[in-house]
Amino acid sequence: MAGKCNALIPPTLLIMLTGTVMIMMEAGTSWASNSPDYADALSKCILFFEGQRSGKLPSTQRMTWRKDSALRDGSDIGMDLVGGYYDAGDNVKFHFPMAFTVTMLAWSVIDFGKYMGYWDKKHALEAVRWGSDYLLKATSVHHVVVGQVADSNGDHNCWERPEDMDTPRTSYVINETNPGTEVSAEIAAALAASSIAFKASNAKYSAFLLHRSKQVFNFADGYQGSYNLSIGEVACPFYCDYSGYADELLWAAAWLYKATQEAYYWEYLEQNIHHLESIVVRNIHGNPYVGASFAEFGWDAKHAGINVLVSQWVMKDDSNDNPYILNADKFVCSMLPESPSKSVTYTPGGLLIKPGGSNTQHATASSFLLIVYSLHMSIAHKLVRCGDVVVTPSRLINIARSQVDYLLGNNPLGMSYMVGFGPKFPRKIHHRGATLPSIHKHPKKLGCRDGDKYLYSQNPDMNQLTGAIIGGPAGDDSFSNSRMDVGQTEPTTYINAPFVGVLAYFKATARKNVGF
């Protein structure tokens, strides 16, 4: 499937102007349409997080087919761990990707909240707080961080609604003797970023988040060790840490510096930057994939995100040789289709592809970084050079826009990969709550295997998980439209989280032409 040529798609058009290479359009014109409704997509992208909520749901819950769930979480260790998010189509609370989700939601609000409008920003902050409140609970005991709630294997052996769960809701703890630096540091980053997001609207809450972030960072740095060793029996193979935990420590330090401007965190970044100069190993269907650290960004590897985040403080002009800038530039060059050092591929229709499944996570996260970096470049009057190719800030915006438009339906299949957006979108996704009838329609409990007939059914989902972005198509733009193809049809919170900021930006640019 991957690499298959689509004869209907014309070759990429290259236009050379004074030594600068610009690709005007990655996608062919046979399916091209007007720009999608970014404002509608933004509202739905934020709404999705209400469908992933765990715990006691508020009276303001808009996705009403979801009900209260997991109300005794934490009781096995005497803690209140009610709340938080289910990461994907299962009912486990994996705190490593959850914390990354919260970090990216907060970053979306920090950099792009001004473009959202009152109601979208309000709901985005509610999404941040649903996560940050929970992460406060998970770190409420000194030198203890809860790294996960629920037995992954038990949960994945059942197809149950969150409201019916009867699989073990075990709490898995990180502490001084069983450290988990990557999950602890990512939580510290999430709390620091959330403190910035709430600083203008709730100063007291913001200060509390920041205080806890510092405590958790000190614990993560002071008691180092991988959570693969402490709770790996349940975290793996779903969310093993393959990139090491040095990136999470630097990521947290960068967010704490942004939140405090304290010299300690800047010195930490300066003294430990060498840890980013390494290869990164990712898990691809159980096999290791080795990549350059500067090109990686997601729930596991934070390298490219660190470089882009720090660039705002060290970017001066086009001749800047700061290592954070050099690595951010290399990330840009790894993304561009015309770059001689490109390390990704694109489908014939133009979607970014990296090895492994759920490719939309790379498209949304990379698009976010490209937009943020382009804005930093514009302020500094900087260009990026990829060999003989000279890249302008607007070029990065165009790359990001091509990814957004593809995901929202401007692709060979005319398929929106956001549930509920546009006339054609996936209606058989790999998600328990969406697949199974709601309690309204089926009040009787559905046991562990009672949901199998819905899982294997060819009928559309019983409930619409509006705003969910699923894993997306294969490398030849084909889409299986099967619940059993998990890589293509499962949504995750960390796919949606960076897309919130991306859509807010394009909502504004479509109206005001901001940033061009």
Whether residue 503 is predicted with pLDDT greater than 70 in this model: the reply is yes
The SS3 call for residue 165 is: coil
On whether the CB atoms of residues 408 and 36 are closer than 8 A, the answer is yes
Q: Residue 354, exposed/middle/buried by CB under 10 A (0-12, 13-18, 19+)?
A: buried
The SS3 call for residue 433 is: helix
As a whole number of angstroms, the longest Cα–Cα distance in the chain is 69
Q: What is the helix (H) or strand (E) element at residue 149, kind and residue range?
A: strand 145-149
Residue 393 CA to residue 372 CA, distance in Å, equals: 10
- Written as six digits, the tokens of 453 are 């007939």
* pLDDT (0 to 100) of residue 253: 98
* pLDDT (0 to 100) of residue 24: 30
Share of the chain above pLDDT 90, in %: 85
CB count within 10 Å of CB 169 equals 22
Whether residue 13 is predicted with pLDDT greater than 80 in this model: the reply is no
Whether residue 478 is predicted with pLDDT greater than 50 in this model: the reply is yes
Catalytic residue among 303, 362, 376, 430: 430
Local confidence band at 494 (pLDDT 50, 70, 90 cut-offs): very high
b/e 111-133 (16+ beta carbons within 10 angstroms → b): bbbebbeeebbebbbebbbbbbb
In whole numbers, what is the pLDDT of the chain averaged over residues? 90
AA identity, residue 479 = F
Give 32 or 430, the one with higher predicted confidence.
430
On whether the CB atoms of residues 472 and 491 are closer than 8 A, the answer is no
Q: For domain 14-512, is the CATH number 1.50.10.10?
A: yes
AA identity, residue 251 = W
Residue 188 CA to residue 262 CA, distance in Å, equals: 16
Per the annotation, the verdict on 430 as an active-site residue is yes
* pLDDT (0 to 100) of residue 511: 65
State pTM to two decimals. 0.92
Residue 23 CA to residue 223 CA, distance in Å, equals: 48
* pLDDT (0 to 100) of residue 324: 94
Give the closest residue to 146 by CA, choosing from 125, 174, 168.
Answer: 174
CB count within 10 Å of CB 208 equals 16
3-state secondary structure 316-383: CCCCCCCHHHHHHHHHHHHHCCCCCCCCCEECCCCCEECCCCCCHHHHHHHHHHHHHHHHHHHHHCCC
Whether residue 18 is predicted with pLDDT greater than 60 in this model: the reply is no
- Written as six digits, the tokens of 9 are 């798609």
Share of the chain above pLDDT 70, in %: 89
Residue 84 CA to residue 409 CA, distance in Å, equals: 31
